[in-house]
């Protein structure tokens, strides 16, 4: 059986269906670790998991599914099509126009109402829709032409065609896939995962909620703006009133539409830190449904770790994967700057080096170019706890983060941090707006891609033992007070209990 196929036996109804995109159980770290923690932390509940992946290529599971997972399936957004069955079928008059109207309404901000209309059209057995008829049939060609004429008639049809297939191929996969049976649906992002949760609400009446680590739409916006493979075909010049739509506009409209649909469908809209709520509200999230549940860590795991001696070699560490988004090169350059003041500096990079071999090779070459072979050490994947007693300062130079666990773990061990102003780093190091009483600084926040500022902040902590100790103790107190794993689990346990009760009441009303 292909790894992405639905299990032969019909799985039992789960208490909670967790929907993830591009992570668990195939990609280690970050969100995947959190999903594993969440499921294991609720052994009294059963879980189904839908892992949304790009295609049907085989993937290695990097996590063993917990015992309380009763249903696991992959949903590939793109797969080979069986073109032999793609002839036009007889369908109700006006269906094609109705389908095009539903797509237009969805892309232009129609929200959950537009998506509900689309779900019902695709689910209607009279329309006989399959992924093949929606993607590789005369019907799909006519729909593509209709959408081009109504959305982007002034731009390249060829570019629109491939963008349509990429964006709406994933949408169609979500619409026609089997939906696991569950009492509550919990998505970990907007995007296609959020659409599947919204579809579950429409088709089953069960409640859904979302936990956003980073803001999916914002992350996609950055990718789209930087993407060289998206061609700009409309020259608007300096005309701010030019209403013509280009390919990047279409991509962003779709992702923003997905976010709006998900937010409107979800009973709770949870994020890890309060600054994310500003972005969620801007994308249409109802204010009254917003909540913050910070990530938590096992505080006890970091108890009793001795502090690095003031007499030891000055040691800093970047804890994370060697990938571009961690901006390891800025960390290396900061180490080069620091070594002029701290000639015996040790700059560790604690994390896997095999995720992006080309980038790792670039980092190694940069280390050699800077003459830092005796300073910068790539350890590969290690037990972080075993290294913490050697580290004076933890450094994070990431271009994007949600709520980095490495800062919480460093704080639990009393180690101050220097971090870029991304995600919840400022909130963790300086405190939330409602922190009372205010605890003070647990480290220093810097600008992105600024090795000189990073080096200056690290140098201040390395050169002043009293300041370093004070920041470390402040961060330790804040982590203990606000970021304990059990506190986070308790919040999710209460949320699940409320939504499961609501689901059972809805089921009872439908049965009566």
Which of the 8 DSSP states describes residue 210?
E
Q: What is the mean pLDDT of residues 113-121?
A: 94
Residue 471: both structure tokens together: 């920041």
Q: Identify the three-state secondary structure at position 46.
A: coil
Domain ranges of the chain: 1-87+95-228+245-296+484-512, 299-483
Quote the Cα angle for 32-35-41, to 5°: 140
Tell me, rounded to whole angstroms, the distance of Cα 214 from its chain centroid. Answer: 5
Q: State residue 4's pLDDT score.
A: 45
Q: Which residue has the tokens 């039992």?
A: 12
- The values of phi and psi at residue 75, to 5°, are -125, 100
Q: Identify the three-state secondary structure at position 48.
A: strand
How many helices (H) and strands (E) in the chain? 17, 13
**Is the distance from CB of 225 to CB of 135 less than 8 angstroms?**
no
- Residue 312's contacts (CB-CB under 8 Å, 6 or more residues apart) are 390, 392
Assess whether the region 1-87+95-228+245-296+484-512 and the region 299-483 belong to the same CATH fold.
yes
Among 188, 166, 219, residue whose Cα is nearest residue 31: 188
326: exposed, middle or buried (Cβ count in 10 Å: 0-12, 13-18, 19+): buried
Q: What is the mean pLDDT of residues 167-193?
A: 94
As a whole number of angstroms, the distance between CA 263 and CA 290 comes to 10
**Is the distance from CB of 393 to CB of 417 less than 8 angstroms?**
yes
- Dump pLDDT digits (tens) for 22-74: 999 998 877 898 999 999 999 999 999 999 999 999 999 999 999 999 999 99
Q: State residue 277's pLDDT score.
A: 94
pLDDT band at 234 (very low <50, low <70, confident <90, very high): low
Q: What is the mean pLDDT of residues 193-200?
A: 98
Q: Please say if the pLDDT value at position 8 is more than 60.
A: no
Q: Identify the three-state secondary structure at position 282.
A: helix
- Dump pLDDT digits (tens) for 395-425: 999 998 888 889 999 999 999 999 999 989 9
- Residue 179's contacts (CB-CB under 8 Å, 6 or more residues apart) are 196, 199, 200, 203, 204
What CA–CA distances, in Å, run from 406 to 2, 101, 219, 277, 351?
Answer: 36, 47, 21, 23, 11
- Dump pLDDT digits (tens) for 82-108: 655 566 677 788 888 898 899 899 988
Q: State residue 86's pLDDT score.
A: 60
Quickly list H helices, 177-290.
Answer: 191-204, 216-226, 247-265, 275-282
As a whole number of angstroms, the distance between CA 87 and CA 93 comes to 17
| Bridging pattern class, strands 443-446 and 346-350 | unpaired
Tell me, rounded to whole angstroms, the distance of Cα 229 from its chain centroid. Answer: 22
| Bridging pattern class, strands 417-420 and 14-21 | unpaired
As a whole number of angstroms, the distance between CA 262 and CA 272 comes to 17
Q: Please say if the pLDDT value at position 141 is more than 50.
A: yes
Q: Which CATH class is domain 299-483?
A: alpha beta
Among 401, 408, 387, 433, residue whose Cα is nearest residue 485: 408
**Is the distance from CB of 98 to CB of 127 less than 8 angstroms?**
no
pLDDT band at 130 (very low <50, low <70, confident <90, very high): confident
As a whole number of angstroms, the distance between CA 448 and CA 398 comes to 7
**Is the distance from CB of 219 to CB of 285 less than 8 angstroms?**
no
- Dump pLDDT digits (tens) for 289-334: 999 999 889 999 999 999 999 999 999 999 999 999 999 999 999 9
- Residue 121's contacts (CB-CB under 8 Å, 6 or more residues apart) are 95, 98, 99, 102, 127, 129
Q: State residue 411's pLDDT score.
A: 97
Q: Please say if the pLDDT value at position 240 is more than 50.
A: no
- Residue 165's contacts (CB-CB under 8 Å, 6 or more residues apart) are 135, 144
Q: Identify the three-state secondary structure at position 22.
A: coil
As a whole number of angstroms, the distance between CA 124 and CA 98 comes to 13
Q: Identify the three-state secondary structure at position 127.
A: helix
Of 59-63, 66-70, 238-242, 496-500, give the lowest mean pLDDT range.
Answer: 238-242
Q: Identify the three-state secondary structure at position 291.
A: strand
| C-alpha dihedral sign at 134, 137, 141, 143 | negative
pLDDT band at 246 (very low <50, low <70, confident <90, very high): confident
As a whole number of angstroms, the distance between CA 238 and CA 158 comes to 26
- Dump pLDDT digits (tens) for 356-393: 999 999 999 999 999 999 999 999 999 999 999 999 99
Q: Which CATH class is domain 1-87+95-228+245-296+484-512?
A: alpha beta
- Dump pLDDT digits (tens) for 431-465: 988 888 999 999 999 999 999 999 999 999 999 99
């Amino acid at each position: 059986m292909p790894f992405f196929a639905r299990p032969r036996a019909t799985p039992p109804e789960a208490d909670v269906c967790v929907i993830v995109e591009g992570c668990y159980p195939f990609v280690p770290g970050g969100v995947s670790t959190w999903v594993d923690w969440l499921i294991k932390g609720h052994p009294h509940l059963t879980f189904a998991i839908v892992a949304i992946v790009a295609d049907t290529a085989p993937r290695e599971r990097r996590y063993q599914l917990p015992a309380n997972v009763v249903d696991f399936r992959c949903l590939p957004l793109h797969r080979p099509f069986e073109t032999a069955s793609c002839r036009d079928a007889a369908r109700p008059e006006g269906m094609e126009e109705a389908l095009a109207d539903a797509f237009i309404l969805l892309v232009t901000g129609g929200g959950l109402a537009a998506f509900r209309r689309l779900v019902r059209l695709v689910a209607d057995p009279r329309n006989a829709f399959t992924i093949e008829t929606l993607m590789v049939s005369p019907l799909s060609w006519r729909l593509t032409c209709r959408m081009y004429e109504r959305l982007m008639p002034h731009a390249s049809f060829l570019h629109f065609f491939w963008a349509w297939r990429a964006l709406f191929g994933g949408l169609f996969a979500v619409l026609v896939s089997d939906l696991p049976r569950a009492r509550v649906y919990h998505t970990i992002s907007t995007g296609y995962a959020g659409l599947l949760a919204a579809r579950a609400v429409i088709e089953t009446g069960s409640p859904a909620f979302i936990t956003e680590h980073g803001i999916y739409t914002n992350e996609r916006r950055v990718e789209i703006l930087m993407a060289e493979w998206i061609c700009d075909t409309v020259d608007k010049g300096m005309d701010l009133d030019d209403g013509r739509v280009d390919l990047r506009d279409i991509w962003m409209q779709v992702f923003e539409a997905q976010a709006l649909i998900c937010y409107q469908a979800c009973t709770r809209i949870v994020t890890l830190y309060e600054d994310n709520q500003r972005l969620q509200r801007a994308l249409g999230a109802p204010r009254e449904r917003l909540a913050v549940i910070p990530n938590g860590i096992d505080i006890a795991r970091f108890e009793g770790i001795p502090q690095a001696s003031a007499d030891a070699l000055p040691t800093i560490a970047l804890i994370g994967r060697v990938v571009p988004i961690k901006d390891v090169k800025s960390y290396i350059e900061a180490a080069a700057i620091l070594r002029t003041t701290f000639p015996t500096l040790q700059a560790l990079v604690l994390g896997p080096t095999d995720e992006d071999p080309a980038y790792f090779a670039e980092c190694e070459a940069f280390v050699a170019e800077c003459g830092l072979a005796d300073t910068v050490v790539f350890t590969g994947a290690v037990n972080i706890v075993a290294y913490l007693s050697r580290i004076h300062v933890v450094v994070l130079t990431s271009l994007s983060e949600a709520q980095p666990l490495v800062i919480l773990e460093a704080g639990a061990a009393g180690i101050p941090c220097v971090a870029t102003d991304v995600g919840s780093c400022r909130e963790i190091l300086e405190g939330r707006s409602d922190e009372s009483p205010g605890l003070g600084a647990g480290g220093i926040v810097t600008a992105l891609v600024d090795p000189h500022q990073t080096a200056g902040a690290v140098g201040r902590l390395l050169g002043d033992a009293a300041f370093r100790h004070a920041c470390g103790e402040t961060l330790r107190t804040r982590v203990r007070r606000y970021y304990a794993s059990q506190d986070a689990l308790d919040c999710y346990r209460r949320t699940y209990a409320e939504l499961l009760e609501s689901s059972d009441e809805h089921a009872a009303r439908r049965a009566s």
